[in-house]
Structure 1
Amino acid sequence: MNLLLGALNPIALRLGALEIHWYGVIIATGVVLAVGLALQEAKRRNVSEDDILNLILWALPFALIGARLYYVVFEWSYYQANPGEIIQIWHGGIAIYGGLIAAAIVFIIYCRRHALSPWLVLDIAAPTVMIAQAIGRWGNFMNQEAYGAPTTLHFLQSLHLPDWVIQQMLIDGAYRQPTFLYESAWNVLGFIIIMSIRHRTGWFKQGEILFSYLIWYSFGRFFIEGMRTDSLFIGPLRVSQIVSLVLFFGAIGLWIWRRKHSQLPDYLTGNQAKEQK
C-alpha cells in the first residue's frame, strides 16, 4: 500500500495574515447541521424557531467558553506558564463535557424565563448535539489530537482505513490508535438509533431522549477515554471517565426515579403550554 507523505495541512485557507483552520471549519459544519435538525424537530414539537435560535445564540458562546475553561483548569500547570495560549482554541484543547455542562445551564435558565419545558428543549437538542460531536472529532483528526497509544501500520490497515487517515495517525514517529474515529463512529451509531426510535408512540417521556443520549455517549466515552494518551487527570484518575460514570449512572437513576414519582408528559406531545394559549 502506498501511503501519502506527510500529515494533512491543518490550515484550510489563508487570507493575508488571516488563517482559517480546518478545526474551526469542521466544528462550524457540525453546529450548522445540528441547528438545522433542531429547527425541524422544534416545529414538530410546537417550539418556535425564534426560541431555538435565541437559545443557540446564547448557548454557543458559553459552550465554547465552558469547553475551554474545563480544559484549561485541568491543564493549569501549563497555561499558568503560557497564559497567552488560553484563548488559542484553534490549536485544539477544548473539552466536550465542559461545553455540554455550560450549554445545559444556559438552556435551563432560558427555558425557565420563557415558559418552556427544559426537558423538552434538551430532548430536541440532544441527538443533534451527538451528530455535531461526531463531526467535530474530525477537527481533532486534522489537528492530530485525541489519539490513542502507539499501534502498528498493519493494525490500521486491517481497519480498512483510507491511506490519508492512516498517514495522519503517524504522530511523533509512531502510528496511533484513531480514538477520534472510534468516538465519531460511536456517536454516529447512537444518533441513528435515537433518531430512529424517538418518534415511537409511548416510548419516551419528556427528558428521556436526553437521558438516552447521556447513557449512550457516556458509556462509549468511558472506554474510548481509557485508550487515549492525552486525557485530563485528577491524580491517577481520568477526568472524563469520572464524568462519564456520573452521567451514565445519574441518567439511569433519574430516568427510573422520574417514572416512579412524577406524572410526565410524553415527548411527542411537545409544547402543550403554547397550544393552550
Structure 2
Amino acid sequence: MNLVLGALNPIALKFGPFEVRWYGVIIACSVILAAALSVKEGQKRGLKDDYFYDFLLWALPFSLIGARLYYVIFEWPYYASNPSEIYRIWDGGIAIYGGLIAAVIVLLVYCHSQEISSWLFLDVIAPNVILAQGIGRWGNFMNQEAHGQAITLDFLQKLHLPQFIIDQMNIGGVYYQPTFLYESLWDVLGFVVLLLLRNKKHLFKQGEVFFSYVIWYSFGRFFIEGMRTDSLMIGPLRVSQWLSVVLFIGAFLWLFHRRYWHPYAPWYLDGQKTLAKEK
C-alpha cells in the first residue's frame, strides 16, 4: 500500500501578506553558490573578486527582465490583449533562455568596460552557471511546474525515485513526467564534466569552455523540452527546442572557427595574463 503525503508547500515563510516562496530561496542559493565558485576559480585565472560581484549586481536585474521579455514576446497575442499583466512576474512566466541571453549581453558590455577578456570570464562562470541551472530546477519541482506529459504511478516507481518526488509529481490526481529532474541531472553532470576537462593542460583555448557548456546544455535541453507540456510553441517544435538547435550548431561552428582561425589564442589555464597578445 502506498502512502501519498501530498504536495509540498511552495511557500517557505509567510509574514502577513508577504510570502517567501521556495522557488526564490532555491534560485537565490544557486546564484550565491555559482558566484562563490566563480570567485574562487577567477582568483586562479588572474581575475579580481570584485569583477564577479560587480557583474552580478548588473546581471541579476537584467536577467530577470530578459527572462520575462522572452516569455512575453512568444506569448504576445495574450499579453497584447492583457497589457496590464506584462509586469506581473509574480504570477509566473519567465524563461531561462531569456535570462541567459540578457546575462551574456551584460557580461560582454561589462568586460569591455573593465578591459578584461570576455572569453575568460565566460569560461570561469560557465560550469557554475549550469550547476545553478540544475539546482534551480528544484524550484520548478516545488511549484509543480516544468513537468512532462501525464504518466502512470507505475512508471514513476520503476524509475526508483524517492517517494517525495513521486508525491510531488501527483498534480490534481494525475502523475506527470519529472522533466525538472531530468534537466537537473543533465545540468549537474555537465558541471562535473566541464570541471574535469577544464583543468587539463592544452585542451581548451579561452572561450572553448563556454562553447562546450552551450553545446552540452542545448543538446540536453532539446530532448527534455520535447517532453514538456507547458512550453511555448512555434510550428512543430517548442521555442526552446528551436533555440537549442541554433545554439548547438552555432557553438560548434564558432568553436571550430576560433580554434582554426585564431591559433594563437591563449589557453584557458593561462588566464588573464596573456589577454593583450590575442588578435
TM-score with structure 1 setting the length: 0.95
Give 1:208's aligned amino acid.
E
Match of 2:67 in 1: 67
Deviation at 1:84, TM superposition (A): 4.3
User: Mean Cα displacement is larger for which, 264-273 or 98-107?
Assistant: 264-273
Are residue 269 (structure 1) and residue 270 (structure 2) matched?
A: yes
Give percent identity, aligned residues only.
Answer: 61
Q: In the alignment, is residue 248 of structure 1 matched against residue 248 of structure 2?
A: yes
**SS in structure 2 opposite 1:271?**
helix
Structure 1 residues 209-218 or 76-85, which shifts more? 76-85
Alpha-carbon shift at residue 82 of structure 1 (Å): 4.1
Measured at CA, do residues 73 and 275 of structure 1 come closer, stay the same or move farther in structure 2, by a change above 3 Å? closer
- Give the aligned partner of residue 159 of structure 2: 159
Letter of the 1:190 partner, please give it: G
Contact 1:66 1:98 in 2 (8 A): yes
The structure-2 alpha-carbon separation of the partners of 1:46 and 1:248, relative to structure 1 and needing over 3 Å to count, comes to same
Whole-Å Cα distance in 2 between the matches of residues 40 and 87 of structure 1? 36
- Distance in 2, Cα, partners of 1:44 & 1:241: 36
Structure 2 gaps of 5+ residues are none
For residues 213-244 of structure 1, what are the alpha-carbon distances to aligned partners after superposition, in whole Å with 9 as ceiling and x for unaligned?
Answer: 00000000000011100111123331101110
Deviates further, 157-166 or 23-32:
157-166
Q: Which range moves more in the overlay, 109-118 or 168-177? A: 168-177
Contact 2:150 2:177 in 1 (8 A): yes
Instruction: Give unmatched runs, 5+ long, in structure 1.
Output: none
Q: Give the distance between the partners of 1:90 and 1:23, measured in 2 at CA.
A: 11
How far 1:2 sits from its partner (Å)?
A: 2.6
Amino acid at match of 2:271: G
**Residue-by-residue CA offset, 1:180-203 (whole Å, 9 max, x unaligned):** 000000001010111111011101
Give me the whole-angstrom Cα distance separating, in 2, the residues matched to 1:268 and 1:85.
47
Tell me the residue number matched to 1:205.
Answer: 205
Change (3 A) 1:6 1:86: farther
> Matches of 2:231 and 2:174 in 1, distance apart?
18
On the 8 A contact 1:3/1:164 being kept in 2, the answer is no
Aligned positions, number:
276
How does the TM-score come out when normalised to structure 2? 0.94
